[in-house]
Structure 1
Amino acid sequence: MGRTLVIGDIHGSLKALEQILQRSGATPQDHLIFLGDYVDGWSQSPELIDYLIALKATHSCLYIRGNHDDLLMQWLQTGQYSEQWFNHGGRITMERYTALDKDKKQLHLLFLESLKDYHLDDSNRLFVHAGFTNINGIHHEYFPRMFYWDRTLWETALALNPALKPDDALYPKRFNHYREVFIGHTPVTRIGLTVPVQKANIWNVDTGAAFKGPLTIMDADTKEYWQSDPVFELYPQENGRN
């Protein structure tokens, strides 16, 4: 039986993804769970999605939707985009996709439309890009877009008093539904780190690949992890989302 390997936010850094798959020794027997944000930042978003589509033919892969993936999907569907997306990684993605032919865009749109909002495994471990807001858990979420936009789950985990126990009346009820929750979305570089961070039962695997950090792949069982070189060093002529 293979490992369950969790991959943080990639943001167009195909070179970094190739590094971590090689460094972790990932095989077709492993189950690869990608936490979303495949695009926006570095210049290889189209090539990265081509790679992910091909990888699923040879490996066990599960692709979760990130907010940047949803923004690209909306643009490909409607031609509409926000200035905020354009200024936060979307510009380089739009430039690259404008140069693609119609068939390639359609293939990538189908991939983006197929992404999952979350994955709950048989061990009651939740894998989601950002989080959820309903205190009763994911199946009661009133606002499904929060699966890939929420930051309150991680902010609550960061602010939580470590002395509180799960049965304490003040303990966040959201945390008690799942054995572990694996997220990306909010890079740990915001708290000055570039490695996976655990707070309560929340694991954040976004180690800042869109900015100055590396890309990370982590074994969900053992918590061993492998990282790429700092991604900006792999794309020295680019700014990423810096």
Structure 2
Amino acid sequence: MERTVVIGDIHGCLDAFNALIEAIEPSSNDTIVTVGDYVDRGPNSKGVIDRLLELREVCQLVSLRGNHEDMMLEVLRGEVPPFSWLNHGGVQTMDSYGFVGDLNCVPRSHRDFLENLPNFFENDTHFVVHANYDPDLPLDEQPDDLLRWVKLTQEVPGPHMSGKRAIVGHTHDREGRIIELPHLICIDTYCYGGKWLTAMELETGRVWQADPYGNLLTPPAP
């Protein structure tokens, strides 16, 4: 059976990510979609990207770009000073790479990974973006800033013109709740803040969750 599993904002929480992958047990027939924000805030951004690169050899991996990847790339390219990024979790990211003053501590394979992240994923029933969308625009015409930066607390979009259900991250719930509307589900459940990382299988709605230390949550009885 082919599965499509979407994983929320990881933010350097490698233990939680590893626990979910171990529980999901992806095969070459499965598609794993990660919504972006692999780096910043949590303790091991480098390890998260290493793990994502490894997963490419195990399953069909689609890793989307989040706003934190945007910030990191702007600094790595020398386009902006690092101060804003460092204040939004970049310090933890650079620590995970062993930064001592030289941005070459970020290996070329990681830079290439970050540079080539797509903006969206879609199948017959769902689409996945990092943050938000314009309900009246096709996915390939969406503004980058909207896809990566605009929180649901700023604007909740209506149903998309495609009729497909949206899966998003970016807007964390401090209680660790999945936010579910008829046309939209948000799975940023605030792992770096002490709650959990969430994965959801699109075909069945099955959910896996792990806390920052890699402990799986026991699902409630049906």
TM-score range, shorter chain: 0.7 to 0.9
**Cα shift at 1:56:** 0.4
Q: Distance in 2 between matches of 1:12 and 1:78?
A: 23
**Cα shift at 1:225:** 0.5
Residue aligning to 1:16: 16
Poorly superposed stretches of 4+, deviation over 6 Å: none
Alignment gaps of 5+ in structure 1 = 158-171, 235-242
Instruction: Return the match for 1:110 from 102, 112, 116.
Output: 112
Residue aligning to 2:137: 136
- How high is the TM-score relative to the length of structure 1? 0.79
Residue aligning to 1:59: 59
* Structure 1 residues 38 and 69: alpha-carbon distance in aligned structure 2, compared to 1, 3 A threshold: same
For 1:37, what is the secondary structure of its paired residue? Answer: coil
- How high is the TM-score relative to the length of structure 2? 0.85
The percent identity for this pair of structures is 28
Does 1:188 pair with 2:188? Answer: no
**Cα shift at 1:48:** 1.2
Aligned residues: 212
The one-letter code of the counterpart of 1:178 is: G
**Cα shift at 1:47:** 1.4
For 1:10, what is the secondary structure of its paired residue? Answer: coil
The one-letter code of the counterpart of 1:119 is: F
Alignment gaps of 5+ in structure 2 = 215-222
More helix by share: 1
Q: Distance in 2 between matches of 1:89 and 1:50?
A: 19
The one-letter code of the counterpart of 1:138 is: L
Q: Is the 8 A contact 1:11 1:39 kept in 2?
A: yes
Q: Deviations over 1:95-150 (max 9, x none)?
A: 333258837522211000010011122x0421100012363343433x32221112
Q: Distance in 2 between matches of 1:81 and 1:146?
A: 23
Residue aligning to 2:220: none
Q: Is the 8 A contact 1:76 1:105 kept in 2?
A: no
Q: Is the 8 A contact 1:39 1:93 kept in 2?
A: yes
* Structure 1 residues 101 and 58: alpha-carbon distance in aligned structure 2, compared to 1, 3 A threshold: farther
Q: Which one is further off, 11-20 or 175-184? A: 175-184
